């Protein structure tokens, strides 16, 4: 992770490696980013209990899908915000408890969907005005965690939500969060995530798999959005 190049061999310290279980190599190749991010979102920012609600936007992204599955394993209920109507049924089938289209009246529709129950954690991967819309859905003193900026904009949040409601905006880097964990704890987390991927419990959408000689085509595909790239792009070194 973070080597900055595509390569089929790398020299590193043995303790930095985790033996991969049997399973789909393309799925397992995604282990080191989205899985830990979803894990840390559940572990580090709110003491969520079974039956509690969290809300996330960009729910169709790989991290959002992992978060749905990991939360469901813990009995935590998810409100999942998407931009495209065709994603609603798919995320419900994945295990999302509530799936809603984003929009200016999001907070009203969330309150109706959960019958006024408090939403204990907000997760934002979009930034811009979307941050404010998630914040408006939260219970008093709930954390709001930003782990991405798909819009390319700054996070927007009303001062009075922070002042009166005690909403706190956090920026997430799972690498930074790992500094408070031992190497054994990090390895145990990766081992569990790898096992869930190998069993098919955690599955990311893959939009395309390309050999290295087609790297230009792969990068062009990776630069597309929406229905043109509904999933991850994989570079395969298989001969």
| 186 contacts 3 by C-beta, under 8 angstroms | no
Task: Establish if 220 belongs to a structural domain.
Answer: yes
Rounded to whole angstroms, how far apart are CA atoms 117 and 138? 10
CB 97 within 8 A of CB 181: no
If asked whether residues 159 and 215 sit together in one domain, one would say no
Tokens of 134: 């998630």
Phi and psi (nearest 5°) for 232? -80, 155
Q: Which structural domain, as residue segments, surrounds residue 141?
A: 34-176
226 falls in which pLDDT band (50, 70, 90)?
low
What string of H, E and C letters represents the secondary structure of 88-151?
Answer: HHHHHHHCCCEEEECCCCHHHHHHHHCCCCCEEEEEECCCEHHHHHHHCCCCCCCEEEECCCCC
Whether 10 is covered by a domain: the verdict is no
Is 105 inside a domain boundary? yes
Residue 211, classed as helix, strand or coil, is: strand
- The residue assigned the tokens 């033996």 is 19
Q: Does residue 165 sit in the same domain as residue 76?
A: yes
Length of the chain: 239
Question: Percentage of residues in the chain with pLDDT exceeding 90?
Answer: 67
Give the pLDDT confidence of 63-109 residue by residue, as tens digits. 999 999 999 999 999 999 999 999 999 999 999 999 999 999 999 99
How many C-beta neighbours within 10 Å does residue 201 have? 14
With cut-offs at 50, 70 and 90, classify the pLDDT of residue 4.
Answer: low
Q: How many domains is the chain built from? A: 2
Neighbour-count burial of 190, counting CB atoms closer than 10 A to its CB (0-12 exposed, 13-18 middle, 19+ buried): middle
Q: Tell me what pLDDT residue 6 has.
A: 72
Per-residue pLDDT reduced to its tens digit, 117-165 = 999 999 999 999 999 999 999 999 999 999 999 999 999 999 999 999 9
Separation CA 42–CA 227 (nearest Å): 29
69 and 119 in a single domain? The answer is: yes
CATH of the domain at 149: 3.40.50.720
Residue 53 belongs to a domain: yes
- Which one-letter DSSP state was computed for residue 11? -
Taking alpha carbons only, the member of 177, 136, 143, 209 closest to residue 38 is: 177
pLDDT of 227 reads 64
Give domain status of residue 9, yes or no: no
User: For 15-35, what is each residue's pLDDT tens digit?
Assistant: 777 777 778 888 888 888 889
Q: Is the pTM of this model over 0.75?
A: yes
Strands 206-211 and 232-236, by their bridges, are parallel
Considering the domain architecture, whether residues 48 and 102 belong to the same structural domain is answered as yes
């Amino acid at each position: 992770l973070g080597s900055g190049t595509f390569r089929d061999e790398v020299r590193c310290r043995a303790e930095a490696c985790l033996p991969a279980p049997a399973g789909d190599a393309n799925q397992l190749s995604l282990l080191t980013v989205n899985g830990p991010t979803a894990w840390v979102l559940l572990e580090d920012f709110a003491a969520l209990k079974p039956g509690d609600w969290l809300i996330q936007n960009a729910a169709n992204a790989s991290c959002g899908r992992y978060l749905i599955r990991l939360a469901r394993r813990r009995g935590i209920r998810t409100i999942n915000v998407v931009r495209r109507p065709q994603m609603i049924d798919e995320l419900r089938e994945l295990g999302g408890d509530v799936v809603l289209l984003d929009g200016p009246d999001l907070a009203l529709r969330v309150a109706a969907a959960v019958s006024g129950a408090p939403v204990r954690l907000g997760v934002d991967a979009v930034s811009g005005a979307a941050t404010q819309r998630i914040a408006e859905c939260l219970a008093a003193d709930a954390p709001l965690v930003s782990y991405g900026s798909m819009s390319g904009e700054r996070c927007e949040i009303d001062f009075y939500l922070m002042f009166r409601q005690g909403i706190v905006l956090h920026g997430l880097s799972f690498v930074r969060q790992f500094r408070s964990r031992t190497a054994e704890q990090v390895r145990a987390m990766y081992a569990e995530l790898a096992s869930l991927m190998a069993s098919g419990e955690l599955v990311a959408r893959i939009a395309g798999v390309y050999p290295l000689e087609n790297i230009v085509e792969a990068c062009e595909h990776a630069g597309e959005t929406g229905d043109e790239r509904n999933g991850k792009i994989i570079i395969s070194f298989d001969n």
